Amino acid sequence: MIAARGITKQFGDYVALDDVSIEVPDGSLTALLGPSGSGKSTLLRIIAGLETPDAGVVEIHGDDQTRVKPQRREIGFVFQHYAAFKHMTVRDNVAFGMRIRKVDRKRIDARVDELLEIVGLAGYHKRYPNQLSGGQRQRMALARALAVEPRVLLLDEPFGALDAKVRAELREWLRRLHDEVHVTTILVTHDQEEAMSVADHIAVMDHGRIEQVGDPRELYDRPANQFVMGFLGPVSQIGEQLVRPHDIAIRLEPGLGCVEAQVSRVLHLGFEVRVELAIEGGDQLVSVQLTRDDAAQLELSSGDIVWLQAREGVPVSA
Ligand SMILES: Nc1ncnc2c1ncn2[C@@H]1O[C@H](COP(=O)(O)OP(=O)(O)OP(=O)(O)O)[C@@H](O)[C@H]1O
State ipTM. Answer: 0.93
3, 23, 134, 182, 251 from 179: Cα distances, Å = 22, 20, 23, 6, 45
Q: Going by CA atoms, what residue is nearest to atom 18 of ligand 1?
A: 39
pLDDT at 185: 95
183-203 average pLDDT score: 95
Q: Please answer whether residues 293 and 224 qualify as being in contact, where contact means their C-beta atoms are separated by less than 8 angstroms.
A: no
Atom of ligand 1 nearest to the CA of 41: 22
Ligand 1 binding pocket, CB closer than 6 Å: 11, 14, 16, 34, 36-42, 190
Inform me whether the pLDDT recorded for 157 exceeds 90.
yes
- Mean pLDDT computed over 205-216: 97
* Atom number, ligand 1, closest to the C-alpha of residue 38: 21
Sign of the dihedral through C-alpha 231, 237, 240, 243: negative
In testing the pocket of ligand 1, which one of 42, 189, 204 has its CB within 8 Å of the most ligand atoms? Answer: 42
Q: Is the pLDDT of residue 317 over 80?
A: no
Q: Are 244 and 234 in contact (CB under 8 A)?
A: yes
**For residues 246 and 225, what is the distance between their CA atoms, to the nearest angstrom?**
19
Nearest atom in ligand 1 to 35's CA: 21
Question: How far is residue 273's CA from residue 278's CA, in Å, rounded to a whole number?
Answer: 17
Q: What is the pLDDT of residue 162?
A: 84
The pLDDT of residue 167: 87
b vs e for 3-22, b when ≥16 Cβ sit within 10 Å of the residue's Cβ?
A: bbbebbbeeeeebbbeebeb
Mutate to test the pocket of ligand 1, among 10, 11, 81 (most ligand atoms within 8 A of CB): 11
pLDDT of residue 82: 66
| pLDDT tens digit sequence for 239-295 | 778 899 999 999 999 988 889 999 999 999 988 999 999 998 777 889 999 999 999
Residues forming a β-bridge with 7: 20
Does the predicted model carry a pTM greater than 0.80? yes
| Rounded distance from Cα 234 to ligand 1 centre (Å) | 26
What span, in angstroms and rounded, lies between the C-alpha atoms of 181 and 198? 14
- What are the pLDDT digits (tens) for 52-90? 999 999 999 999 999 999 988 999 999 887 678 899 999
What number does the ligand 1 atom closest to the CA of 43 have?
18
State whether residue 200 is helix, strand or coil: coil
Q: Which of 48, 47, 41 is nearest to 21 (CA)?
A: 47
Q: What is the pLDDT of residue 242?
A: 87
Distance CA 318, CA 54 (A): 35
Q: Cα(296)–Cα(300) distance, rounded to whole angstroms?
A: 8
Return the residue whose CA atom lies nearest to atom 30 of ligand 1: 37
DSSP state of 308: E
